[in-house]
Amino acid sequence: MKKIILFSAFFFSTFLFSQSEYGSVSQLPDYEILKKKMKLEDVVTKADTAPEFPGGIENFKRQFAEKMDIINVKSKNIDTRVYFIVEKNGYVRFVTATGSDKKHSDAAELAVRRLFIKWKPATVNGEPVRYLYTFPLTLKKS
């Protein structure tokens, strides 16, 4: 029962997805962690066209939610950031999640890994580029 309540709270609470507005990778708040876990050479955080998930971001959110394991979180507030690189060929690599709740971060990371779907890659001057995609997952239980 606790898992069902947590699942409901998780998806009916403040649940944000957005792309980072940082100008370069080194400006990200988790840069020190990312540079240890990812190959960041030639990665951009801004592009002429951002990468696109087939069916759009709403489809990504829905599929992400379906792939996310239901976990029992003890924290009242969760602030997790999920990072991954959409490669020039459209495939996702180097998925990393950071946050205060390790179980939640691990579950979010695994959910993205389970979505083995080719994206439309980001472009700069009409050429595909490696793009560091970022989205926050926030849960505030009352």
Q: Give the model's pLDDT for residue 53.
A: 95
Domain range enclosing 18: 2-140
Whole-model pTM above 0.85? no
Higher-scoring residue by pLDDT: 92, 29: 92
Higher-scoring residue by pLDDT: 53, 141: 53
Backbone angles phi, psi at 95, to 5 degrees: -75, 130
For residue 83, which of 61, 62, 105, 101 has the smallest C-alpha distance? 105
For residue 75 the two structure tokens come to 């924290």
Task: Give residue for tokens 């898992």.
Answer: 3
30-64 burial: b if 16+ Cβ within 10 Å, else e = eeeebeeebebeebbbbbeebbebeeeeeebeebb
pLDDT digits (tens, 9 = 90+) for 51-66: 999 999 999 989 988 9
Mean pLDDT across 90-96: 94
Decide: 105 and 71 in contact? Cβ < 8 Å: no
C-alpha–C-alpha distance, residues 51 and 3, integer Å: 33
Domains identified in the chain, total number: 1
Q: Give the model's pLDDT for residue 2.
A: 43
Which helix (H) or strand (E) segment holds residue 78: the answer is: strand 77-86
pLDDT at 22 over 50: no
Decide: 1 and 129 in contact? Cβ < 8 Å: no
Which helix (H) or strand (E) segment holds residue 66: the answer is: helix 57-67
- Cβ neighbourhood burial of 81 (10 Å; 0-12, 13-18, 19+): buried
